[in-house]
Chains A and B, each alone.
Chain A
Amino acid sequence: MAFQVSREGDVLVVDVDGQLIVGNRQELKTRVLEELEKGEQKFLVDFSSTGYIDSSGLGVLVSLSKKIREQGGELRLSSLNEDLRTLFELTKLDSLFRIHDSREEGLQGF
């Protein structure tokens, strides 16, 4: 399983193990949307254990963020390594998300 879901207070934390790529993006999307339908509002995707995200992975985060905002919720990101942060900066998606250095920082004030 590439995605581990856990709860920190009222925040649903999704850990991405390994990669978020074209081959598994749908799994993440389905999982998060299921939780959104159940009424979850606060999502933190943590990339501490992630080596690589491709453009499809970036796209699914954009799509999920939009759907969550439409439901009055928020999607935050945390723990991006230097390479992953570069991808967000190149594509200017760092302007679209709240990106935190650590999981703890991402959970603060949620």
Chain B
Amino acid sequence: MDRQLVFELPNDLGCIEGAVEFVLLRCEFCEEVSRRLRFNFRVSLAEALANAMLYGNGGDPAKRVRVEVTVESSALQARITDQGSGFDPDRVPDPTAPEQLHRPCGRGIFLMRQLMDEVHYNDQGNAVTLVLRFQDTEALLREASA
């Protein structure tokens, strides 16, 4: 895969699955992290794109979402940037709290944080960076096979 993959998407929810598949295909060489790549990263990238389109860009079809995927020797990073004014991710309630459990929304950021090694927002709150570390996966695989 290229060291860096950069592209923009229209603000169209129908583009998400194709974009996620495109990124995963370009990461096929990462076979040693296949499950975490195909599940953890896939879910998190799709959630980040949906949040960017629905909430960040407010569903505005004139806006776009920028995707930057970087592969390093120790990690895979994806930065998703929308054209909205941003938000404070620390104010999003825990969806697993008893009073939140019956709500139909609010699980996307939680899932990203659970499934990725790191999740960072920029100060404005309109860009999220997802980090999947390779070395931890290899350690987990060694533990699993021990």
Known: A52-B42, A54-B47. A59 touches B104 (CB 8 A): yes
B101 and A93 form a contact (CB under 8 A): yes
Q: How far is the CB of B18 from chain A (nearest CB, A)?
A: 11
- Stretch from A6-14, A17-25, A72-80 that touches the partner: A17-25
Query: CB-nearest residue of chain A relative to B111?
Result: A55
- Determine whether the beta carbon of A90 is less than 8 Å from that of B114: yes
Kindly state whether residue B69 has any CB partner on chain A within 8 Å. no
Which DSSP category, helix, strand, loop or mixed, fits chain B's interface? helix
The binding surface of chain A is classed by DSSP as helix
The contact of B16 among A21, A63, A96, by CB within 8 Å, is: A21
Which 5 residue pairs spanning A and B have beta carbons closest together?
A59-B104, A55-B107, A63-B104, A55-B108, A92-B96
Q: Does B102 contact A (CB under 8 A)?
A: yes
What A residues does B17 contact at CB under 8 A? 19, 21, 23
Q: Are B105 and A22 in contact (CB under 8 A)?
A: no
Is the CB of A105 closer than 8 A to any CB of chain B? no
How many Å lie between the Cα of A22 and that of B20 in the bound state?
14
CA distance A91 to B104 in the complex (A): 12
Residues on B close to A: CB < 8 A?
13-14, 16-17, 39, 42-43, 46-47, 50, 54, 95-96, 101-105, 107-108, 110-111, 114-115
Known: A63-B104, A87-B43. A22 touches B50 (CB 8 A): yes
Contact code string A7-43 (vs B, CB < 8 Å = 1, else 0):
0000000000001011100000000000000000000
Residues B111 and A87 in contact, CB atoms below 8 Å apart: yes
A92 in contact with B101 (CB, 8 Å): yes
- A50 within 8 A of partner (CB): no
**Judging by beta carbons under 8 Å apart, are B101 and A54 in contact?**
no
Residue of A22, A55, A60, A91 with highest tally of chain B CB at under 10 A: A55
Could you tell me if B111 and A56 are in contact, using CB atoms closer than 8 angstroms?
A: no
